[in-house]
A and B are shown apart, each in its own frame.
Chain A
Amino acid sequence: MQSISLAYRQLNALILGKPLQIRLALTCVLAGGHLLIEDVPGVGKTTLAHALAGVLGLDYRRVQFTSDLLPADMLGVSLFRPDEGRFEFQPGPVFSQLLLADEINRASPKVQSALLEAMEERQVSIDGRTHALPKPFFVIATQNPDGQLGTFPLPESQLDRFLMRISLGYPSPESERALLLAGDRRQALSALPAALNAGELLALQQKATQITVSSALAEYVLALLLASRKRELFMHGLSPRAGLAVLAAARAWAMLNGRDHVLPEDVKAVFVAVCAHRLQSRLPGMNSIDAAQRLLDHVPLA
């Protein structure tokens, strides 16, 4: 636990004025889920992803997604070795503990599918042979909001492979002033010491699953799910998978806050990040984030 709060402090020192998003990102990692960071260019998406990889002490690779990227560029290829007379598998960048998928929505649907399959199965099948991905395995994907030219928006069915979606947003004036005076953060990034290693992270993830969820809390999450299906806020209600995702994230959040049981406030803290990208608002002039928040504001705790 010491190490995780150290990681939190380090990240906060690097990315100014975004403690909530950093906490959510760490929660996502502790819950063993993939993270989607969505925002306009230049607000520090990639920096956050790099920094996460750095402080977690993971082996990471970065793939810049473009429209001409092929699945093999990411997954790897089998090369023929004439001297040895056999094929040898050359693993692609996906075989890393942390894959940074930059601008995921610029890649063709084919590549997106390949990546999302790897995320779900945590293994890759090439030429009839299955290659397990390393443990832990995370994807942190960034994407620009839809509507930009040359993008392939991820379909909803693939969006829900990501445990959370967060946006950074513009920094506050104070943070931005500090940023302007301190200069480019990429320098600091390379100097970032690792606060954890892969083994410790796996242990923490294991610990997070042990956090207590009482029947009353399960009732509360159930009430949220049911309300999302009944109310007229959304096109479709939340799936059972979304419910499990909320609980997993809430457990990690509770652990980050040093508790051994989940409280409704943990659920509320992670709910929008976990659920907004799985929902479509029905109400005119209200996006799914606002609608999810509205749902939280109206479902009683008891």
Chain B
Amino acid sequence: MRSEPRLAHFAVLAALALTVLPLFLQLPPWVPLLFALQLGGRAWLAWQDRQLPHRVWLLLAMIVPVLLLWLSLRTLVGREGGVALLLLLTGFKAFETVTLRDWRVLLGLGFFLAATPLLFDQSLPSALWLLLSLFVLTWAMVLLAGVDSAASPRAAALALLYAMPLMLLLFVAMPRLPGPLWSMPTMDQRATSGLSDSLAPGSIGQMIPSREPAFTAQFRGRQPVREQLYWRVMVFDRFDGARWTAGSVPDSGAALASGAAGELSYSITATPFKGALPVLEHAVWAGEGVQQVAAQLLRRIDARNEARLRYDVRSVAQAAYPAALSAEQRDHYLQLPAANLRTRQQGEFFGRQFRDEAGRLVALRAWLQQQGLRYTLSPPLLQGDVVDDFLFSSRQGFCEHFASAFATLARAAGLPARIVVGFQGGEFNTGGQFWLVRSSDAHAWTEVWLQGHWQRVDPTALVAPSRVVSEVGELVPEAQAVVPVLGRRPPAWWRSAHAQWQRAGFVWQQWVVDYDARRQQSLFQRLGLGRVGVGSVMTVLLLGGVVLVLPLLLWLLWRRPPPRSYPVRGWQLLVLRLQQAGVAAQASDTPAQLRDKAKGLAPSLQQQLARLLADWQQWRYAEGATDADPRWRGWWWQVRHFRPPRLAASGFSASGKATMD
């Protein structure tokens, strides 16, 4: 039994609905809901065999959802906007889907839509869902091609399986973009969050959170809590009134400190930023390839090597440092330019008011909290005395503004202070049991010298605690690892299954999601192919094609049904040759029709064609005609040598009429 076309149509609609299901989690819920309604409506029309609405109505009906989309997202481009718009337009496309070709176009859109959930989430469940979507879409495609419905699942699975080697090859070989597409800055005076080698609050108008991974960290034994994770990369201690930079006075705490309480042992995989590498506070031991330098920072030993590396560190909760700053150091950390008069006056006021340094710090923090400052990633640009402007006028900013303002205040109040730049927090990957820190986790905070050690003060956390504290589930990763089943420990099978799942997630993350430009580069280098470029990519594609795809292709060819007979192949070739010559020939034409259509050819060619056609007709349809006739071989040879030249600027198009889809 051949599958009914209507069944295939329902299959296409169902496959589309299934494909975009994960988008419910990412888009305003009404968008996927409307899409589902559109598909349902189209299915109902197909079920009832009703006429589709006129195109004008479709155009009018499109206005409202698109307007609504604009109102709710304020954009129609970018990740959310683009995907939502694509979804709605696909839904409307379903209403002008009539012919087989239309259905194929709709299915093609489905294959495109299947990739969109990956823009939001690249975890293993998403990948599995994509695989399911691909199977269902391919199944619908197979049904649409008219394959028997009982045999269709197998045909779809086989088609996907055959495509696998090519997919693998393309995955390995295709050049990677250096970062996610959607965070690329499109205008000036914006920045992606991340690090730079100086800090100038107020010069950046808008911060675009970049989801690009910055580094990963894996803890052995004791796991940290999220608020503990202040990853230090750089320290800025010179201020010129607008810009903080790294000064030249060395810190006395260059040597590794000692301590044992609350030890955290971890390894980090990161790319050095000008030689600097992320590390937690109070590192007491650093492994191979790295060394601890001034101000509790970590540097790569061969600082010029910019390649990614993995290194081990141990940190403690509190470490002992030399008890006092030298007079020279003290001056350095109290240095302030003449600008920002109001801020300095405010700080000096606290300095006079509170003789006790600890009390002074408490008062400063309390004062900052009361200023009604607001955390935003798109603050107004600041001018002139940027700290004054921020504290007393705009009152909006992100971590850099807060850190800069607090450090200025503290120095004016007579407390040695510096700014630390790095990352805060991270995202705990339960699958891989590691922390993924993204560029969007970049952070700046302050350290104040108090009672013999540098004490961390995070002014951003004072104003916007949510920047530092995140969801409970992420705070306590152990809480996710077990599922309470009626208050008891989960059964053994559950724990082993869960462990397997976590491993699969880590492998997925490590081998697929993390396969970025850098890893591709290193793979290419290990294969001896040098840089990722046109030449090397072509080499990989060719070699891989020969090794992976060619054997499969040969096997499929070998398994193919026996080749078509000479008269059949010859007929198709003859029609093709005529088409190539610019004759509007079709394989459905009769020999007489072909002769008529070929009237534009040279007379000798026409004669040749007429003879070929007459023989074909006679040997194929007269009494006793058989495809096994030995004369066919010679005839086929003649057809292969029949190559009419292209007609000059004839009215016919080479491809002839459109196909019947």
Binding site for B on A (CB under 8 A): 212, 214-217, 229-233, 260-265, 268, 284, 294, 296-302
Interface string of B573-610 (1 = CB under 8 A from A): 00100000000001111111100000000000000000
Residue of B nearest to A232 (CB): B5
Q: Is the CB of A232 within 8 A of B590?
A: no
Q: Is the CB of B100 within 8 A of A214?
A: no
Q: Is the CB of B588 within 8 A of A263?
A: no
Partner pick for A216 among B98, B567, B593, CB 8 A cutoff = B567
Known: A232-B99, A232-B100. A214 touches B620 (CB 8 A): yes
Residues of B within 8 A of A294 (CB): 660
Q: Is the CB of A214 within 8 A of B588?
A: no
Binding site for A on B (CB under 8 A): 2, 5, 51, 98-100, 146, 567-568, 571-572, 575, 586-593, 617, 620-623, 625-627, 657, 659-660
Residues of A within 8 A of B567 (CB): 216, 302
Q: Is the CB of B625 within 8 A of A302?
A: no
Query: Shortest distance in angstroms between A299's beta carbon and chain B's nearest beta carbon?
Result: 6
Q: Is the CB of A301 within 8 A of B587?
A: yes
Pairs A-B, 3 closest by C-beta atoms: A300-B587, A302-B571, A265-B590
Residues of A within 8 A of B627 (CB): 216
Partner pick for B621 among A231, A263, A284, CB 8 A cutoff = A263
In the complex, 24 of the A-B residue pairs with CB atoms within 8 angstroms, ordered by the A residue number, are: A212-B621, A214-B621, A214-B622, A216-B567, A229-B2, A230-B146, A232-B5, A232-B99, A261-B623, A261-B625, A263-B617, A264-B591, A265-B590, A265-B592, A284-B98, A294-B660, A297-B660, A298-B660, A301-B571, A301-B589, A301-B590, A302-B571, A302-B572, A302-B587
| Given A215-B626, A268-B590, 13 more pairs with CB closer than 8 A | A212-B622, A214-B623, A214-B625, A216-B621, A230-B146, A263-B591, A263-B617, A263-B621, A265-B592, A297-B657, A300-B571, A300-B572, A302-B567
Known: A215-B626, A230-B2. A262 touches B146 (CB 8 A): no
Residues of A within 8 A of B586 (CB): 297, 300
Partner pick for B588 among A212, A284, A301, CB 8 A cutoff = A301
Residue of B nearest to A260 (CB): B623
Q: Is the CB of A262 within 8 A of B100?
A: no
For the complex, what is the distance from the CA of A297 to the CA of B589, rounded to whole Å?
7
Query: Shortest distance in angstroms between B103's beta carbon and chain A's nearest beta carbon?
Result: 9
Query: Shortest distance in angstroms between B51's beta carbon and chain A's nearest beta carbon?
Result: 7
Q: Is the CB of A262 within 8 A of B621?
A: yes
For the complex, what is the distance from the CA of A152 to the CA of B52, rounded to whole Å?
31
For the complex, what is the distance from the CA of A233 to the CA of B98, rounded to whole Å?
11
Residues of A within 8 A of B622 (CB): 212, 214, 260-261
Q: Is the CB of A299 within 8 A of B623?
A: no
Query: Shortest distance in angstroms between B577's beta carbon and chain A's nearest beta carbon?
Result: 15
Q: Is the CB of A217 within 8 A of B100?
A: no
Residue of A nearest to B617 (CB): A263
Residues of B within 8 A of A301 (CB): 571, 587-590
Residues of B within 8 A of A216 (CB): 567, 620-621, 625, 627
For the complex, what is the distance from the CA of A261 to the CA of B620, rounded to whole Å?
10
For the complex, what is the distance from the CA of A261 to the CA of B625, rounded to whole Å?
10
Query: Shortest distance in angstroms between A240's beta carbon and chain B's nearest beta carbon?
Result: 16
For the complex, what is the distance from the CA of A302 to the CA of B627, rounded to whole Å?
12
For the complex, what is the distance from the CA of A232 to the CA of B103, rounded to whole Å?
12
Query: Shortest distance in angstroms between B623's beta carbon and chain A's nearest beta carbon?
Result: 4
Residues of B within 8 A of A215 (CB): 625-626
Residue of A nearest to B593 (CB): A265
Q: Is the CB of A298 within 8 A of B588?
A: yes
Residues of A within 8 A of B660 (CB): 231, 233, 294, 297-298
Residues of B within 8 A of A302 (CB): 567-568, 571-572, 587, 620
For the complex, what is the distance from the CA of A233 to the CA of B100, rounded to whole Å?
10
Known: A229-B2, A302-B567, A302-B568. A296 touches B588 (CB 8 A): yes
For the complex, what is the distance from the CA of A223 to the CA of B204, rounded to whole Å?
70
Residue of B nearest to A219 (CB): B568
The residue among A232, A299, A301 with the most chain B CB atoms within 10 A of its own CB is A301
For the complex, what is the distance from the CA of A290 to the CA of B592, rounded to whole Å?
22
Q: Is the CB of B659 within 8 A of A298?
A: yes
Residue of A nearest to B9 (CB): A232
Residues of B within 8 A of A233 (CB): 660
For the complex, what is the distance from the CA of A299 to the CA of B660, rounded to whole Å?
10
Known: A232-B99, A294-B660. A299 touches B621 (CB 8 A): no
Residues of A within 8 A of B572 (CB): 300, 302
For the complex, what is the distance from the CA of A229 to the CA of B1, rounded to whole Å?
11
Residues of B within 8 A of A284 (CB): 51, 98
The residue among A216, A217, A296, A299 with the most chain B CB atoms within 10 A of its own CB is A216
Residues of A within 8 A of B575 (CB): 300
Query: Shortest distance in angstroms between B238's beta carbon and chain A's nearest beta carbon?
Result: 76
Residues of B within 8 A of A300 (CB): 571-572, 575, 586-588
For the complex, what is the distance from the CA of A302 to the CA of B591, rounded to whole Å?
12
Residues of B within 8 A of A263 (CB): 590-591, 617, 621
Partner pick for A261 among B2, B591, B621, CB 8 A cutoff = B621
Q: Is the CB of A297 within 8 A of B100?
A: no
Residues of B within 8 A of A212 (CB): 621-623
Query: Shortest distance in angstroms between A166's beta carbon and chain B's nearest beta carbon?
Result: 21
Residues of B within 8 A of A268 (CB): 590
Q: Is the CB of B588 within 8 A of A299?
A: yes
For the complex, what is the distance from the CA of A301 to the CA of B567, rounded to whole Å?
10
For the complex, what is the distance from the CA of A104 to the CA of B624, rounded to whole Å?
44
Residues of A within 8 A of B571 (CB): 300-302
Residue of B nearest to A226 (CB): B2
For the complex, what is the distance from the CA of A271 to the CA of B178, rounded to whole Å?
62
For the complex, what is the distance from the CA of A263 to the CA of B591, rounded to whole Å?
10
Residue of A nearest to B570 (CB): A302
The residue among B2, B572, B588 with the most chain A CB atoms within 10 A of its own CB is B588
Residue of A nearest to B586 (CB): A297
For the complex, what is the distance from the CA of A231 to the CA of B590, rounded to whole Å?
21
Query: Shortest distance in angstroms between B459's beta carbon and chain A's nearest beta carbon?
Result: 68
Residues of B within 8 A of A261 (CB): 621-623, 625
Query: Shortest distance in angstroms between A35's beta carbon and chain B's nearest beta carbon?
Result: 25
For the complex, what is the distance from the CA of A265 to the CA of B621, rounded to whole Å?
11
Residues of B within 8 A of A231 (CB): 660
Q: Is the CB of A264 within 8 A of B621?
A: yes
Q: Is the CB of B623 within 8 A of A264?
A: no
Query: Shortest distance in angstroms between A105's beta carbon and chain B's nearest beta carbon?
Result: 26
For the complex, what is the distance from the CA of A258 to the CA of B575, rounded to whole Å?
28
The residue among A215, A260, A284, A300 with the most chain B CB atoms within 10 A of its own CB is A300
For the complex, what is the distance from the CA of A302 to the CA of B575, rounded to whole Å?
11
Residue of B nearest to A213 (CB): B621
Known: A214-B625, A216-B620, A260-B623. A297 touches B588 (CB 8 A): yes
Query: Shortest distance in angstroms between B163's beta carbon and chain A's nearest beta carbon?
Result: 25
For the complex, what is the distance from the CA of A180 to the CA of B356, rounded to whole Å?
126
Query: Shortest distance in angstroms between A298's beta carbon and chain B's nearest beta carbon?
Result: 4
Query: Shortest distance in angstroms between B624's beta carbon and chain A's nearest beta carbon?
Result: 8
Residues of B within 8 A of A229 (CB): 2
For the complex, what is the distance from the CA of A261 to the CA of B575, rounded to whole Å?
24
Residues of B within 8 A of A214 (CB): 620-623, 625
Query: Shortest distance in angstroms between B533's beta carbon and chain A's nearest beta carbon?
Result: 46
Residues of A within 8 A of B590 (CB): 263-265, 268, 301
For the complex, what is the distance from the CA of A184 to the CA of B512, rounded to whole Å?
87
Residue of B nearest to A262 (CB): B621
Residue of A nearest to B574 (CB): A302
For the complex, what is the distance from the CA of A195 to the CA of B657, rounded to whole Å?
44
Residues of B within 8 A of A262 (CB): 621
Residues of B within 8 A of A217 (CB): 620-621
Query: Shortest distance in angstroms between B41's beta carbon and chain A's nearest beta carbon?
Result: 19
For the complex, what is the distance from the CA of A263 to the CA of B618, rounded to whole Å?
9
For the complex, what is the distance from the CA of A215 to the CA of B590, rounded to whole Å?
17
Residue of A nearest to B567 (CB): A302
Residue of A nearest to B103 (CB): A232
Query: Shortest distance in angstroms between B515's beta carbon and chain A's nearest beta carbon?
Result: 43
For the complex, what is the distance from the CA of A12 to the CA of B100, rounded to whole Å?
44
Residue of B nearest to A211 (CB): B623
Residue of A nearest to B2 (CB): A230
Residue of A nearest to B620 (CB): A216
